[in-house]
């Protein structure tokens, strides 16, 4: 049933079809790798009148890691083209806030869709695949609603259904493939509920089957490591060194995570994830 939807296409970013929504609608801060501290609804200083980014080619050079890592999963063009039929926030001051709020909802729905698509791809259990498919179809239906209806969605209700599907899928794969008897990862430090692995040396380690979901891997040394069947859902890879690492079978690895990390021609990535041109 979901085969009739080209999910890979739906979930690919196409900034040319968007109105720079992520660069206006969201709050961001300089300390997280954005150009300035910016409040919700204020355009970024680098956003041109034609909704293009003035410094797009130089994001890396300028150290704008937050921009590089950000991924709307295609929610921007969906809001611009489908929900608002190309009405944009500059020409419609009365709708401005609504458009931004809808983008925030749509982005969360698209993010869930992206992870569900991955879970569907890697889970071979038929019952689970049926459950995942049902949830994908349900969310696709919601993404086609009008702006007001989208704002009335209870996102947490969807998360409560989606998260267990993602977790069970990951757990099954990790357990089946876990190779080591002892974890190579020290789990003693946490920051705001996230595993703190900032700057750690995990070079040339067999990490197969580890659960690194949500981990802070900022500037971690993962050179030549094997990250097969490692769950990295929501992990922060900014400046992590992936030179020569094997991520071909890493679970829930996104393009945004890869874009924010360092790598080289020997880094192995899953199908569908592109190697950044700077690698």
Q: Give the binding site for ligand SF4 (CB under 6 A).
A: 23, 34-35, 44, 46-47, 53, 55, 64, 67
Nearer to ligand SF4, 71 or 118 (CB): 71
DSSP class of residue 275?
A: P
Quote the least distance from Cβ 192 to ligand SF4, whole Å.
24
Quote the least distance from Cβ 210 to ligand SF4, whole Å.
32
Quote the least distance from Cβ 46 to ligand SF4, whole Å.
4
Burial class of residue 55 (count of CB atoms within 10 Å of its CB; 0-12, 13-18, 19+): middle
Nearer to ligand SF4, 67 or 200 (CB): 67
Task: Transcribe 38-107 into DSSP letters.
Answer: B-TTPPPTTB-TTS-BTTGGGTTTTT-HHHHH---TTHHHIIIIIISTT--TTT-TTTHHHHHHHHHHHH
Nearer to ligand SF4, 70 or 237 (CB): 70
Q: How far apart are CA 218 and CA 196, in angstroms?
A: 9
Token code pair at residue 239 = 């400046």
φ, ψ dihedrals at 28, nearest 5°: -150, 165
Paired strand residues for 268: 246
Nearer to ligand SF4, 65 or 223 (CB): 65
Q: How far apart are CA 121 and CA 214, in angstroms?
A: 21
Quote the least distance from Cβ 238 to ligand SF4, whole Å.
14
Spatial neighbors of 155 by CB under 8 A, at least 6 apart, are 105, 108, 109
Quote the least distance from Cβ 39 to ligand SF4, whole Å.
13
Nearer to ligand SF4, 72 or 261 (CB): 72
Nearer to ligand SF4, 67 or 212 (CB): 67
Quote the least distance from Cβ 56 to ligand SF4, whole Å.
6
């Amino acid at each position: 049933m979901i085969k009739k939807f080209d999910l890979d296409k739906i979930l690919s970013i196409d900034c040319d079809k968007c109105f720079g929504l992520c660069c206006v609608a969201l709050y961001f801060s300089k300390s997280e790798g954005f150009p300035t501290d910016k409040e919700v609804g204020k355009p970024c200083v680098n956003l041109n009148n034609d909704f293009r980014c003035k410094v797009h080619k130089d994001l890396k050079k300028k150290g704008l890691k937050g921009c590089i890592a950000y991924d709307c999963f295609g929610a921007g063009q969906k809001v611009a083209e489908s929900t608002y039929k190309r009405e944009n926030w500059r020409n419609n001051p009365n709708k401005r806030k609504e458009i931004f709020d809808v983008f925030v909802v749509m982005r969360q729905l698209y993010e869930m869709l992206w992870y569900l698509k991955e879970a569907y791809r890697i889970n071979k259990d038929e019952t689970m695949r049926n459950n995942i498919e049902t949830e994908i179809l349900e969310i696709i239906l919601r993404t086609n609603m009008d702006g007001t209806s989208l704002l009335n969605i209870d996102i947490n209700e969807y998360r409560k259904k989606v998260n267990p599907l993602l977790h069970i899928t990951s757990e099954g794969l990790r357990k089946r493939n876990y190779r080591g008897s002892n974890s190579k990862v020290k789990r003693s430090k946490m920051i705001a509920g996230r595993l703190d692995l900032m700057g750690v040396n995990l070079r040339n380690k067999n990490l197969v089957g580890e659960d690194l979901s949500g981990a802070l891997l900022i500037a971690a040394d993962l050179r030549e490591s094997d990250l097969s069947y490692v769950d990295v859902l929501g992990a922060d890879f900014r400046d992590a060194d992936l030179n020569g690492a094997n991520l071909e079978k890493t679970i829930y690895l996104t393009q945004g995570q890869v874009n924010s990390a360092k790598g080289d021609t020997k880094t192995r990535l899953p199908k569908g994830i592109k190697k950044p041109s700077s690698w």
